[in-house]
Amino acid sequence: MLIRVSGYNTGAQEYLEQGNKSGREFTRDELDHRLIIEGQLSLTRAIYESIPDHGQDRYLTFTLSFKEDTVSPELLKAVTADFKAFFMHAYKPEEFNFYAEAHLPKMKTITDRKTGEVIDRKPHIHIIIPRINLLSGNEANPVDVYKNHEKYFEAFQEHINQSMASLRRVKMCVRTSPTRRVSCLAIKAMTSTARTASSNKTWSSRLLNVA
């Protein structure tokens, strides 16, 4: 599994429901089966659109991608729960909005109309978190500046893949696009038992308190 992090001003609902993306001609229904894991997309949209629009990123997006052709709904839900417990550890549940859905490809490959590149498509999870504290109304950003916290992303991926025995290890990679530079890391799985909820909280606290 690897995690890609980004942020946008608007458009999450359109992308997730309709598949709108430059250089791609297929609709979401043609591309994927959608599995709603947590949250209500229309509510998440209403929340990020309530943030005054100054052209800034109003929500965070996380894409959790798998190398396997098939990933069970149970595993997708378990990884999402682990992600939420780790990255939102500093917030109370009532302080943030969280939406997650998985895309299970109907089309295993597509060709980019702009570049001609053939793209392999695998199961993946999309997570949307509006950048607002629902209690205070202040800005919220659980990842702060990504480059300053990259080691925590790497540690989380290592932990997830050690806990989920069906995942694989590949090298760290860096993807560069005209608009975004996204660091990503995929780690080989090693057989181990997923931690309990209590050990999860303890582990997250220990890691987040690393100087």
pTM over 0.85? The answer is no
* Cα–Cα dist 194/163, whole Å: 5
- Those residues whose C-beta lies under 8 Å from the C-beta of residue 68, and which sit 6 or more positions away, are 122, 123, 166, 167, 168
Structure confidence by residue, pLDDT tens digits, 177-205 = 433 434 444 433 333 333 434 444 444 44
Structural domain harbouring 147: 2-208
How far is Cα of residue 60 from the mean position of the Cα atoms in its chain? 9
> Can you say whether the dihedral through the CA atoms of 187, 184, 21, 52 is positive or negative?
positive
> What is the count of structural domains for the chain?
1
- Mean pLDDT on 80-105: 95
Specify the DSSP element, H or E, that contains 33: strand 32-38
Structure confidence by residue, pLDDT tens digits, 10-35 = 999 999 999 877 666 789 999 999 99
Structure confidence by residue, pLDDT tens digits, 139-177 = 998 887 555 667 777 888 888 777 766 554 443 443 434
Longest alpha-carbon distance in the chain: 48
* Cα–Cα dist 3/152, whole Å: 12
- Mean pLDDT on 127-150: 86
Higher pLDDT, 1 or 93: 93
Q: What is the CATH number of the domain that holds 13?
A: 3.30.930
